[in-house]
Structure 1
Amino acid sequence: MRPGGNRGWLLRLVIAFSFAQGAVSMARPAVSYRALALGADERAIGVIAGVYALLPLFAAVPLGRRTDHGRCAPLLPVGVVLISGGCALSGVAGSLGTMALWSGVMGLGHLCFVIGSQSLVARQSAPHEQDRNFGHFTIGAALGQLVGPVAAGALIGGADMAGSSALALLVAGATAAVAFTSLWRIEHRRTASTSRADKSDRVPVRGILRTRGVPAGIFISLAVLSATDILTAYLPVVGEHRGIAPSVIGLLLSLRAAATIACRLVLTPLLRLLGRTLLLTVTCLLAALLCGGIALPVPVWALALLLVALGFCLGVGQPLSMTTVVQAAPDDARSTALALRLTGNRLGQVAAPAAAGLIAGVAGVAAPFVMLGVLLLVSSGVALRSPREPEEPEEPDPAVGPEAGGEGRTGEGRAVRRRLGRGVPLRRKGDI
């Protein structure tokens, strides 16, 4: 199956990602509430949130190397098993240490699923479709982030905070398991067979990181994901200090996710209007200002408006940073480059919550959002200096495209033979 063909696989991947991400998004605030019920303070919450990213930090590049030289699909069920198990076992854990451990297992499962699925999108999409397909793919994450916090907020509450948060974690484990139903025939056999390259030809990690565009994509992704992660982990703490009920906090987090979905649905016209570089720069700058606004003691309705605007701005960074990294990286190291991007994400998820915990312990629970504002402000400068995206190619003529059955990505072999048979002079490659 050629890249850019039948996109049924993409729909199934979005559905599976919705359930997997929904489970994680339900579990993350539930872990925070259960830890609070077990006696954790702001620093302990930061440590537990950081451990979620610690195990994946060391596994990302080896998994990316394996995917560059093999199939992507096997990582998906492995990820679902680890997410489901990590959620459920966090719910029955009786100490902060074991909660941190199972939170790390959950993070490792999420990493496996994301590396496999992002590599599938990169491998099975034509270059001019990657912005769109990555945007559609990340709708699955946003759907999970929309439903997960609402479900957690509905289940958590009352006098027995420890018991209700444990129930939410068990439900999250069952939700992750539903993702299995959409993982059938998700990887095209021909695409998988052509992905196997000689392992001796591996591009060094240092060489990938030196490729222009890769560091920019990694840093932007780190900043945007850190903002999303700290919002998920620390908004419950803000709610506790400001007297906002868990159900309202869950609704606020879901409003943020809904705005992210809306952003990704209109991503293609936004790209046509502004281009990738300017769109990344403007949205990161606006997100920095909005994070600073969350630190202010505003009423709930104003906080909701801030989170909706912030969710829309943060919706741009993830899919476009994926495309930036994929198109900048060597062809036979795309999964490794995506894994390096995820390693940067995990570094941010380890360092940002830990730093947020320290800052919150010293300067108050609103201070981490100021830190996020600074990080996003720097990322807007990085986006402005990133390489300009290539012009979008013209739509291929169906008579000479892959539908004609020609060789390669554009069917040029058969098109050439048809022109020669009709006596039509060949154009130069640059004219096609």
Structure 2
Amino acid sequence: MKIVVRVKLEPSAYQADALAATLRACNRAANRISEVAFATGEKRRVGLHHRVYRDMKDTSDLSAQPIVLTIKKVCDAYATLKANIRAGNLGPKGSKRRNKAESKPVVFREDAAQAFDDRCLSWQPDARTVSIWTTAGRLKGIGFVCSEAAAKLIADRRQGESDLVFRDGSWYLFATCDIPAPPVAEPTDWLGVDLGIVNIATTSDGQVLSGRRLERHRKRMRALTAKLQAKKTKNAKRRLKAIKRREQRFATDTNHCISKTLVQTAERTSRGIAVEDLTGIRERVKAKHDQRYRLHSWAFAQLGAFVQYKAERAGVAVVHVDPRNTSRQCSACWHTHKTNRVDQATFACRACGMTMHADINGSRNIRHRAADAWQRGAVNRPSTA
């Protein structure tokens, strides 16, 4: 399985200027290549390479291999755009958002990330330094900081390209590492997990992982941001810059803690994990105006990704089930009706009279559906032991 390891670079002032100039040169070249790809309709790497390579070599500050990597970046961007259109992520045909995306070339920011392969970037994990190609020449001895575990992964398991990223005034390298995953054993039972906004995750065992702490943090950050934006002073702008992404980091840490708890519980009890397939939930759900911020701040996709990769590393099976009527169906008698869901927290079956927490009832329905979904092959089942 592949995981991404992030390290923070510590360049000198001269090295930081050279890295910034390199990103600008790569992304300006990417924009020119993107215009050619859009005008000619050539989105394949080989065809686009023949059209733009010689011109880029003569007119840009890039050497041969960075030009090749930049062409690949442009082709990958158009492939991603095509996949999003095909999946309906940009709306139906003729929609304003889709027309806007299809009517102009893909544009890259001047500080957008750039990939470097082993010809342009070399690692020295023991010395905690990297050597990287820039438009000012090869820079050697750029220090980086990371944990001992991350350094060992980079030394032993790093594969492919690494991405140079400039974010919030700091420089990072993202390295892809391929680590062996243990075989996934055939589960005998499942841990159902119901995902939500008020309660981020609720298990079929009755464990409720609340989102109140995260919700309080979001409200506090929204109020602070609005207050600083209203002042419009230099100090307020500096403060806004300092707290940027703080809510995102807090939500990411919360999802890491929750996913770790779920995977440890399933691993300890030799069960698989069953979660809802919430793909496209934002497009399907119609929220009131005051609830849209909460819905769009709901990082369920990130939580699902964290559960997936942590489960793979632990050898725990993960299955995605159909979420329809999991909140309306009684987990005891299977009676399904919308009136069974009394309110956000209460479930009361109109047929058998069973009452319980609504999220626990939903998680038990997810658990009941997991075995059928696994046996039917409704998901891409990993290799089993």
TM tier relative to shorter chain = under 0.3
Greater RCO, CA 8 A, separation 6+ = 1
Give 1 or 2 for the bigger CA radius of gyration.
Answer: 2
Higher strand share: 2
Q: Could you state the TM-score of these two structures normalised by the residue count of structure 2?
A: 0.27
TM-score normalised by L of structure 1: 0.25
